[in-house]
Amino acid sequence: MPTITTNDLKNGMHLDIENNLFQVTDFQHVKPGKGHAFVRTTLRNSRTGANVERTFRAGEKVERAMIDKREMNFLYRDGEDYVFMDNESYDQMNVAPDSLGDAVHYLLESNNVVLQMYGTEIVGVDLPAAVELDIAETEPGLQGDRVSGATKPATLVTGLVVQVPLFVNPGETIKVDTRSGDYLSRA
């Protein structure tokens, strides 16, 4: 693996530290009046999701983990697993839902996603900022109910429950923000 110095750190970069995979979420170069400069970082463990704060000496060498981003097409569910097809090699791969995290709430068949892979392990999923999903179940909108800002729960076809305005009806398609899981608008 390539070795870099802590002076070359950037947000989003992956590091291999003590056989654990970490993603840099924040870093700050600090040069105190006395003493040596150092780099204060916030790292997210890609396997557990836990955040760790760690301080490195300026210029210290760390192992950079090479993450392969592959565009995959979600084909179907096979029991609990999700089946993806690589868009370049057409190889199919079964993926456990816990490897995908919250992305399972936004996946529809034949959608393309980018899987971040470290060797054969999936460490992340790149989704579009918003997806369009159909509402499977919600209370119907009532005529004359015009309370401003009022919401009701709606269950989407993927099983995700979001708060939607009162005028949204079952069977409609809505846009959902994949970062926060919030309703954006009707599609």
Tens-digit pLDDT profile for residues 71-112? 999 998 888 898 999 888 888 988 888 888 888 888 888 888
Shortest CA distance to 111 belongs to which of 158, 172, 78? 158
* Residue-level pLDDT at 104: 87
Tell me how long the chain is: 187
Per-residue pLDDT band at 147 (split at 50, 70, 90) = low
Mean per-residue pLDDT of the chain: 86
Across residues 161-178, what is the average pLDDT?
Answer: 87
Contact 96, 49 (CB under 8 A): no
- Give CA separation, 152 vs 78, 90, 168, in Å: 32, 42, 9
Q: Is the pTM of this model over 0.85?
A: no
Tens-digit pLDDT profile for residues 95-105? 888 888 888 88
Tens-digit pLDDT profile for residues 17-41? 888 889 899 999 988 888 888 999 9
Report which DSSP code applies to 159.
S
| The token pair that represents 174 in the structure block | 């809505």
Is a pLDDT exceeding 80 seen at residue 143?
no
d(CA 52, CA 33): 26
Per-position DSSP letters for 32-54, written without gaps between them: -SSS--EEEEEEEETTT--EEEE
Across residues 138-142, what is the average pLDDT?
Answer: 77
Domains recognised in the chain with CATH numbers:
3-64 (2.30.30.30), 68-126 (2.40.50.140), 130-186 (2.40.50.140)
Regarding beta strands 130-138 and 92-95, do their DSSP bridges make them parallel or antiparallel, or are they unpaired? unpaired
Contact 158, 81 (CB under 8 A): no
